[in-house]
Chains A and B, each alone.
Chain A
Amino acid sequence: MRTLHKYWKTAMMAAASYIGDSPLFLVDYLFRFLRVAVLLALWRVILAGKGSVSGMTLEAVLTYTLIAEVFGGQLAPRTSLDWTFWSGAIVGRMLQPLGIFGQFAAEMCGRWLFELSIFSLPLLLVAPLLGVSPLPAGPAAAVLFPISLLLGISVGLALEFIFGALLVLLALPLWAVNQVRAAVTTLLSGALLPLALLPAGAGAALAWLPFASMASAPLQIYVGTGDPLRLMAVQAGWSLVLWPLARWLWSASRERMVSYGG
């Protein structure tokens, strides 16, 4: 319990940091809400009168889009790792009496707690007003979705530490890598557009990448358009491959970290 307590405190500090300055942070959530509304309208235009497309009905796509935004933080997990490298604050982090992966993950979870209460929960509550059912496809989907989401977070966190270590090892510029990573991940993970609705072949190929394990897999399970066991097996496989790689890259780049940024 004592070990967990320090991570809990870290998470709470990260959650409270949002409201430290002023209510202007709410603007970001307003913009995200607008994005959901526009995406929902777009799908209604595209799929109107088309019935089921690649196994997805309009209702399933609307629920997929809504849930992708509700769990936006968890489907694309990001820590403050790269900024800590950039500012040189990684030196101080290494002196803290917490595991390095654990402290960044705890901070990330703290921010999620805040975001879930200020944005995700209200969005779920107003879903019927947007004409979208926020419910999972069935009892099995409701049970398997959290497990798949956790596996997706595991894959996303492993990628986060791999990218962080690569930034240091290859001395890459933070801004450039961050921009490209965010843009490419959004597209390849299926968080913005369901992979099944991409042109034939493209979606099927992307489904095997680790990015798809972060978002597409749990979302497919939620709306009941994928085989849960196969999807979770791929997620677990990526998790098993990526975490040892992350640990190895982290060890290899450890000594260079203090000279990156600052």
Chain B
Amino acid sequence: MEDRRSRIEERDPPSSILYPLSSIRRLLRLWKLYALMDFMLIAADLKLGLTYYLSDAILNIAAVTGMLLLAERFAGIGAWTHDQIIFMLGYATVANGIVNLLGGYNVMMISRRVGRGQLDHTLAQPQPIWMALLTEGFMPFSSSAVLIPGIGLLAWALGRLGLAIAPGWLALLALNLLASAAIVLAFSFIWGSLAFWAPRAAEEISSSTVNMLSQLKVFPLDGLGPLLLGGLLTFLPVGFIAWYPSRALLGIDPSPWGGWLTPLMALLLALLAAGVFHKGMLHYARTGSQHYSGFGHRS
């Protein structure tokens, strides 16, 4: 029965959504496949693989070092203690690591795939586009260069903060981390969908948006005026990448629902991203690719 369903799924990809168990099994198979490919990419040329690995680690450590040094110099920043800042930076790094884990090979920079006409590569495959986008960027070995330092920072901060860590709190931390990563990806997809209409001009727009989020995520936003802060929690959701969820998890924000706000925002943005991307796909179905760069299937 399962084999027959798989065959149906391959002939008629959209029908896979009717068979969730089969879809989950397939997702796991694909993640395993892409994990193996990721490992082989590093192992095939160890010098090159390690260079990329180290550069990712250095890049992400450098991104938080400035704030770490400031927190050290001033024994905290505003309402945040030194250790709370370390927690926020660890949170930001782990969230970024999750984005890298799932969004490699220009899934995160979706405007490149769309703008370069490489979405055709994905559309030609015998699987739904959501499944392809959810699996093609999976790179557990490469992304560990970001995840491991991030988890280290989080663990260090938690050890020093002396919080009473209950399983429920850990589950909320994990949920918030996934939500923050989902917000980055959704935001990149919302802006990146512009490339359906302006393939050349918007080819790099996802990298601009992701870079902006990456640069601003390490700052505590407490001192901003209401207008700017409101903007950074809605139109440009930088505040949900690390600042707000860390406030909620550490109890700096007194609201009892604070821990659920980031997941709620992630859900809203994911729905918006799916809608905008779908609209772009409808446009793409009429116009096709106007600008093609043959940089390879997954880049």
Contacts and interface: CB of A to CB of B under 8 A. Distances in A.
Contact of A183 (B59, B69, B232): B59
B223 A198 contact: no
Interface string A175-202: 1110110011011000011000111101
Given A34-B236, A45-B220, A180-B55, A21 B62 contact: no
A44 B219 CA distance: 13
Contact of A184 (B62, B209, B221): B62
A198 B216 contact: no
B66 A42 contact: no
B77 A45 contact: yes
Interface stretch (A22-30, A110-118, A238-246): A22-30
A252 interface: no
A28 B201 CA distance: 12
A31 B212 contact: yes
Contacts of B63: 183
A4 interface: no
B223 A197 contact: no
B219 A46 contact: no
Contacts of B70: 46, 193, 197-198
A258 interface: no
A39 interface: yes
Interface in B263-292: none
A173 interface: yes
A27 B209 CA distance: 9
B68 to A, nearest CB: 10
Contacts of B32: none
Given A193-B66, A199-B72, A44 B55 contact: no
B201 A198 contact: no
B147 interface: no
B73 A44 contact: no
A172 B224 CA distance: 42
With most chain B CB atoms within 10 A of its CB, the pick from A22, A31, A37 is A31
A175 B52 contact: yes
Given A37-B228, A41-B224, A21 B201 contact: yes
Contacts of A200: 73
B205 interface: yes
Interface in B162-191: 191
B212 A34 contact: yes
Contacts of A187: 62, 65-66
Nearest to B200: A21
Interface size classification for chain B? 35 or more
A41 B221 contact: yes
Given A31-B208, A187-B62, A199 B69 contact: yes
Contacts of A202: 69
Interface in A122-180: 172-173, 175-177, 179-180
B66 A46 contact: no
Interface residues of A, number: 35
Contacts of B201: 21-22, 24-25
A13 interface: no
B51 interface: yes
Interface in B49-92: 51-52, 54-56, 58-59, 62-63, 65-66, 69-70, 72-74, 77-78
A199 B200 CA distance: 45
Given A22-B198, A28-B208, A46-B70, A176 B219 contact: no
B194 interface: yes
A206 B175 CA distance: 40
Contacts of A44: 223
Contacts of A25: 201
Interface in B29-47: none
Contacts of B77: 42, 45-46
Contacts of B194: 24
With most chain A CB atoms within 10 A of its CB, the pick from B54, B62, B194, B201 is B62
A46 B74 contact: yes
A70 to B, nearest CB: 17
Contacts of B62: 180, 183-184, 186-187
B220 A42 contact: yes
A45 B48 CA distance: 43
Contacts of B51: 172-173, 176
A42 B74 CA distance: 12
B74 A21 contact: no
Contacts of B69: 193, 198-199, 202
A213 to B, nearest CB: 19
With most chain B CB atoms within 10 A of its CB, the pick from A39, A45, A172, A187 is A45
Given A177-B55, A183-B63, 7 more contacts: A24-B202, A42-B77, A42-B220, A175-B55, A179-B56, A183-B62, A199-B73
Interface of B: 48, 51-52, 54-56, 58-59, 62-63, 65-66, 69-70, 72-74, 77-78, 191, 194, 198, 200-202, 205, 208-209, 211-212, 215-216, 219-225, 228, 232, 236
29 contacts: A21-B198, A21-B200, A21-B201, A24-B201, A24-B202, A31-B211, A31-B212, A34-B232, A35-B216, A37-B224, A37-B228, A38-B228, A41-B221, A41-B223, A42-B77, A45-B78, A45-B222, A46-B77, A176-B56, A177-B55, A179-B59, A180-B55, A180-B58, A183-B58, A183-B59, A184-B58, A187-B62, A199-B72, A199-B73
